[in-house]
């Protein structure tokens, strides 16, 4: 079997954060988190409910995003994946624009329900393939969804981790700060520091991100690839030469 690719490593790393949960949801335009959720379901014995917005096969909701928000508000959603055009060291996420909002340097898709889900979903896993100072910034230009809240504000959810194409960070909500938990094979601490725009803590013994086992990798390339092709055919074709 050919070696694990960076995309497959990200899928496996994300899946570890949601294994064994009851109900996991994935938003639109998120093929890697979607594959991770499906992988976690398979590795958890198939009991997990996975909702992928935009999918016909893997979407139990009959009313789209509104039903997702209802489930989250009622405490029936355990985890959600969230990306951002910018992410800072306090886990604030920017999904709007960079620079002057009247004449922005770049525009992003928009916040949609990110702020609401960030407040009510117990485990929000942040994800960006690109790990650079352009994305991981000292302070986001616009806060679409705040990573933490002031005392006295009722909040049951928030970020627990950030997975990138280079490493895995854990988020300490009490300190509003990331800690480097593992570094992907072939990367090193100096590289992570050089490409990260915010300061972070480093675990006493930083691990190397665990590669998926051969059986897990085979599952990703076969069943998961076939299932993800239904919603993301171009991604599946590009990643595994797989057709829906």
Which DSSP string corresponds to 212-224? PPHHHHHHIIIII
pLDDT of residue 15: 98
Under the banding of pLDDT at 50, 70 and 90, the label for residue 66 is confident
Radius of gyration of the chain (CA): 17
Higher per-residue pLDDT: 99 or 42: 42
* 201, two tokens: 């803590």
137-172 pLDDT tens trace = 999 999 999 999 998 999 999 999 999 999 999 999
DSSP strand pairing (123-128 vs 159-164) = parallel
Domain architecture of the chain: domains with CATH: 6-240 (3.40.1080.10)
200-213 pLDDT tens trace = 999 888 999 999 99
Under the banding of pLDDT at 50, 70 and 90, the label for residue 178 is very high
Residue 243 has pLDDT above 80, yes or no: no
Average pLDDT over residues 67-92: 95
pLDDT of residue 141: 93
**pTM for this entry:** 0.94
170, 120, 175: which is closest to 145 by C-alpha? 120
């Amino acid at each position: 079997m050919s070696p694990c690719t960076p995309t497959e490593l990200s899928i496996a790393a994300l899946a570890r954060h949601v294994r064994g949960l009851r109900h996991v949801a994935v938003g639109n335009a998120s093929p890697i988190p979607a594959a991770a959720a499906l992988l976690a379901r398979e590795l958890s014995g198939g009991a997990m409910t996975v909702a992928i917005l935009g999918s016909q096969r893997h979407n139990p909701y009959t009313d789209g995003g509104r039903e997702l928000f209802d489930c989250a508000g009622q405490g029936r959603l355990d985890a959600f994946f969230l990306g951002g055009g910018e992410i800072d060291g306090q886990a604030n996420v920017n999904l709007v624009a960079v620079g002057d909002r009247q004449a922005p340097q770049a525009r992003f898709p928009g916040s949609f329900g990110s702020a609401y889900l960030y407040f009510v979903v117990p485990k929000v896993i942040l994800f960006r393939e690109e790990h650079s100072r352009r994305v991981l910034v000292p302070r986001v230009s616009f806060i679409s969804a705040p990573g933490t809240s002031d005392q006295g504000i009722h909040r049951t959810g928030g970020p627990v981790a950030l997975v990138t194409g280079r490493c895995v960070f854990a988020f300490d909500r009490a300190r509003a700060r990331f800690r480097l938990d593992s570094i992907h094979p072939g990367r090193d601490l100096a590289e992570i520091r050089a490409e990260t725009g915010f300061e972070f803590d480093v675990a006493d013994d930083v691990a190397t991100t665990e590669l998926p086992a051969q059986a897990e990798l085979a599952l990703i390339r076969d069943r998961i690839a076939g299932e993800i092709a239904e919603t993301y055919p171009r991604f599946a074709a590009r990643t595994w030469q797989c057709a829906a």
